[in-house]
Amino acid sequence: MSNNFTFADDRPNILAWLSPLDPKLRHQDIGDRRVENVGEWLLQTGEFKSWCAGGEGSESDDAVLFCYGNPGAGKTFIR
């Protein structure tokens, strides 16, 4: 018994299985549900201001800001 299926034939099904969420729709939904000034406290912290102001050539220029917290804490709605 031979299998005549190719990756190209199954690509849409495989991608849908790997990521059932549509990122564009999810982004739009989150934007629609966002409350004004959510996460403003984060933008006012010294750590954020220092990271944001990192000058060219400094160590912080390549730094990544990682925001962690419990599920449901609101990280997704910060922008």
Q: Can you spell out the DSSP letters for 11-76? A: HHHHHHHH--S-HHHHHHHHHHHPPTTTTHHHHTSHHHHHHHTPPTTSGGGG--------TTSSGG
Contact, 60 vs 54, CB < 8 A?
A: yes
Classify residue 52: in a domain, yes or no. yes
Q: How many domains does the chain have?
A: 1
Q: Taking a C-beta distance cutoff of 8 angstroms, is the pair 21, 61 a contact? A: no
Domain extent at residue 33: 7-77
pLDDT in tens, 27-74: 898 889 888 888 888 889 998 888 888 765 565 567 788 888 898 888
Choice between 28 and 22, residue whose per-residue pLDDT is larger:
28
Predicted TM-score (pTM) above 0.75:
no
Query: Is there a domain that residue 43 lies in?
Result: yes
In this structure, is residue 21 part of a structural domain? yes
Is residue 31 in a domain? yes
Q: Is residue 29 part of a domain?
A: yes
Q: CA-to-CA distance for 35 and 78, rounded, in angstroms?
A: 9
